[in-house]
Amino acid sequence: MQSNQLQAFVSVAKCGSFSRASEQLFLTQSAISKRIAALETALKCKLFDRVGHHIILTEAGNQLLPRAQDLLHRMTDCQRAISNLSGKVDGKLSLGTSHHIGIHHLPTILKKYTQAYPEVELDLHFMESELICNAVSQGEVELGIATLPSTPTENLVLTEIWNDPLIFVCGAEHPLGKSCSISIKQLAQHPAILPPQESTTYKILHALFAENQLILNTRIATNNLETIKMMVSINLGWSLLPTTMHSNLLTKLVVNKIKLMRKLGIINHKERSLSNAASTLITQICADNKVHFTHNGAVKNE
């Protein structure tokens, strides 16, 4: 078996398509097919079945997938460890982040970083915060900068960098906006526009409503916070948004003097070596925000 064959196999398995895998790996579909065929010959078994236009893993393919991913992760880890010995801050840094953090927290950080380390190739992926933990865990990105999950994951280091206060908001003409202060019970009587149920924001709000024995009525669910802001501004429902998104299009609601907050920060894999590029970015972010980074995930103010 060769690493490029395993890489092609994993890509096809995750994409469910030879054509999409070829786009992901910047190879021709023919090259992908040849690598898979060579791997099947080496293993003396079939790895994929074609059902109509779909590609599915055979039993052998299902057995190989986690082992192939583990082998590739170990090879990447080895390459990083050896490369780090040079002390150079260069190479590819794959970073996953959300659009919200990309807009409100990263521009100044990345500008400073890229100016200081021009030899680093920044590979930036915008995705939902809830997917970033999985992407780091699966080795799809080296680092994540995202909303931190409320429940820690065993193989991940979560480093809190920013507190992200949340506020209740509605449109200027929404019935709730006419009161100086409202109760959670009043809030529950009106539909909300929120991120999906798997999001940290939704879980925070759902827990609050459950504590008060109330049902959270979601009219529309979307991960795009700008879309939520727009729909709230035209009075389609109330929402819970970061304070950084407040504007004159929205009315802030004071709900029983309740203060809610998300935690934003850095996510990396506990058992994998960090490249010099990743370590340097973490050091810069922590220093700029007066936070101490430790490899077991502990954070303390300096």
Q: What is the tens place of the pLDDT at every residue in 204-230?
A: 999 999 999 999 999 889 988 999 999
Poorest-pLDDT segment among 34-43, 66-75, 78-87, 125-134: 78-87
Token pair, residue 73, equals 């992760």
Pair (62, 106) in one structural domain? no
Give me the pLDDT at residue 293, please: 73
The secondary structure element, H or E, covering residue 201 is helix 200-211
Q: What is the pLDDT averaged over residues 56-63?
A: 93
Residues above pLDDT 70, as percent of the chain: 97
Last residue of a domain, one of 36, 56, 83: 83
3-state secondary structure of 49: strand
Are residue 22 and residue 124 in the same domain, yes or no?
no
CATH number at residue 212: 3.40.190.290
Pairing of strands 48-51, 54-57: antiparallel
Tokens of 286: 């922590």
Confidence of residue 294 (pLDDT cuts 50, 70, 90): low
pLDDT band at 298 (very low <50, low <70, confident <90, very high): very low
Q: What is the mean pLDDT of the chain?
A: 90
Same domain, 23 and 164: no
Q: Where are the alpha helices (DSSP H) in the chain?
A: 3-15, 18-25, 29-43, 59-84, 99-104, 106-116, 129-137, 184-188, 200-211, 225-233, 276-288
Q: Say whether both 288 and 210 belong to one domain.
A: yes
Stretch 253-281: mean pLDDT: 92
Q: Are 96 and 146 in contact (CB under 8 A)?
A: yes
Same domain, 296 and 170: yes
Kindly state whether residues 26 and 134 are assigned to the same domain. no
Domain boundary at 48, 83, 118, which?
Answer: 83
Same domain, residue pair 12 and 95: no
Asked whether residue 108 falls in the same domain as residue 43, the answer is no
Residue whose tokens read 């959270």 = 216
Q: CA 161 to CA 115: how far, in whole Å?
A: 22
Number of domains in the chain: 2
What residues does 271 pair with on adjacent strands?
Answer: none
What was the pLDDT predicted at 163? 92
40: domain CATH number? 1.10.10.10
Domain that holds residue 110: 87-302
Backbone angles phi, psi at 259, to 5 degrees: -120, 120
Domain's final residue, options 66, 83, 100: 83
Neighbours of 193 (CB within 10 A): 23
Same-domain status, 135 and 259: yes
- Whether the predicted pLDDT of 300 surpasses 70: no
91 and 79 in a single domain? The answer is no
Judgement on whether residues 224 and 177 belong to the same structural domain of the protein? yes
The tens digit of pLDDT for each residue in 76-91 reads: 888 878 877 878 899 9
Tokens of 233: 């501004």
CA 185/CA 212 separation, integer angstroms:
8
Helix (H) or strand (E) holding 33: helix 29-43
- What is the four-CA torsion angle of 217, 220, 225, 228, rounded to 10 degrees? -90
| Together in a domain, 210 and 108 | yes
